[in-house]
Structure 1
């Protein structure tokens, strides 16, 4: 065969790049359920699953299930293991950028949380309800809660709230709030006793009569001066020419009893709240008592958030029932 022999026409194969059949991240982001998208976005923004769960008012296990569902749907890992909290993977960064880009295009409603107002007697807020309210906020970071401290009958009359917890004389809830309320319910009966820190008073030297108080410093919360049921204690304080400290802060008064060898009038449950304190029941022959009452604003009593707050207060007192007995 001659090398110059003409050959037939040859077809040249055209090179084709492989097609990526996976949809773009923008399309994939637009198809994600809004609830899952929000769970991912908040987790990425907070950098902590626990904080994201609080922000979304979810249990952490529920949030992790939602994120696992999203990863299964997208068939990729959105987070990478790290010692410094939550770190987005390369795919997670892609998804986050697309969700941010789509944020203005999506019509995601912003759910406004209702404002719930809780008014509480200052001593009850500090000693009994404070810890459970903190736990509530740890579980639900999106709550809108206005906590008002009541330190006098005047503040009780002036306050406007959804739930009110106050102290009154031992036989009636009056005077109560000035606005329309539901039927008041009694939460507890409190006995009040002079208290002293154990470390400043040995058993043999603890005072057991009013005459023994001459060598002790007395501390009084100013609010208690207006309480008729505390007349025996108030008369003792008023008769003092020296060795008396008057305070407008309940917390500071309590701290002085703990740390300054002072004797102060405190609720009988205080030795359970702080085991470093002990009551002195022998000093007064007359009992000094007050009752804790709760009522709900008649206009907002049916709201779910208000009802949950009422249940929290009631459950707290039920759990501490032994504090108020005996």
Structure 2
């Protein structure tokens, strides 16, 4: 049964009767804690305790505990299950009507969540932060979050966001965001190496010198062309008269390496992210490195939701610190 379907005449009469009676339901509703009232109303609206907990950003056990105490206080059963569907009992319907009427009388405002804009380097978003951001949204359905993928220094300069995670040199965060930010924070150093799919490369046939690359198709992500520290790799690609694929999609580049026997330049952690890929160290004399940086917009630094995102990012990099050992 939907909690928003039109009421029949008998149910409407029951609701009106409940409004004018001295039933304990009304007495409890009048003095009910606002948080508990919200727990009840959101559970009724969602028809699912798990979804209600996500919407409220609380633990399901915490939600159920408060609702159980409410039922104990009322000495009534407010919810029941019809098969796997959660519905309101008759007492629950009456209590729901009383709370809705009181909410309208008090004109309680809807609690608006601030919009948090998170801008992240495309490869970092895909490889490192994506899974934890999904987990955050599974726990907190009330968040207002805009996620922006950065694929170049130009997009970094053009963006305005509350939290920014980008790639730059290991010595300096520049070029960084164009707006006022907190002191940039180092998150992790990244070593870049050529990678190939294991299934296309037996140990005895893997390239061990630059000359050996001539027998393999190379794939180049075009958004990394301006990265000066990748010059050794760019020079090899530019010398090719054949056997080169140049792409503007990071995800497609990864797919080409996984499925087309290509060799491409990837962060050294990629073998941990995808067990089917393996690095090819020792091909270049020069080290190819970048640094992951994070900064917060100065005017957003005091926002609780912004701090939640910053803490998530820090924890993610801390938990994966072994990925970045060079």
| 1:3 aligned partner | none
Distance 1:304 1:28 in 2: 33
| 1:72 aligned partner | 72
| 1:186 aligned partner | 186
Distance 1:44 1:100 in 2: 11
Bigger mean CA offset, 183-192 vs 32-41: 32-41
Distance 2:253 2:55 in 1: 36
What per-residue deviation string (whole Å, max 9, x for no partner) do you get for residues 5-25 of structure 1? Answer: xxxxxxxxxxxxxxxx96175
Bigger mean CA offset, 189-198 vs 301-310: 301-310
Contact 2:25/2:74 (8 A) holds in 1: no
Distance 2:43 2:139 in 1: 15
Superposed displacement of residue 287, structure 1:
0.8
1:42-81 alignment, distance < 5 Å: 42-81=42-81
| 2:123 aligned partner | 123
Runs of 5+ in structure 2 lacking a partner? 1-20
Superposed displacement of residue 271, structure 1:
0.3
Distance 1:276 1:172 in 2: 33
Residues 98/302 of structure 1: CA separation in 2 closer, same or farther (3 Å cut)? closer
Distance 1:302 1:33 in 2: 28
Superposed displacement of residue 27, structure 1:
5.6
Superposed displacement of residue 95, structure 1:
2.3
1:221 is aligned to 2:221: yes
SS in 2 for 1:86: strand
Larger radius of gyration: 1
Distance 1:299 1:129 in 2: 24
| 1:18 aligned partner | none
| 1:249 aligned partner | 249
Distance 1:204 1:110 in 2: 65
| 2:320 aligned partner | 320
Count of aligned pairs between the two proteins: 306
Superposed displacement of residue 75, structure 1:
0.9
Q: Tell me the TM-score normalized by structure 1.
A: 0.89
Q: Name the structure with the higher helix share.
A: 2
Superposed displacement of residue 282, structure 1:
2.1
The alignment yields a C-alpha RMSD, in angstroms, of 1.7
Distance 2:97 2:300 in 1: 42
Runs of 5+ in structure 1 lacking a partner? 1-20
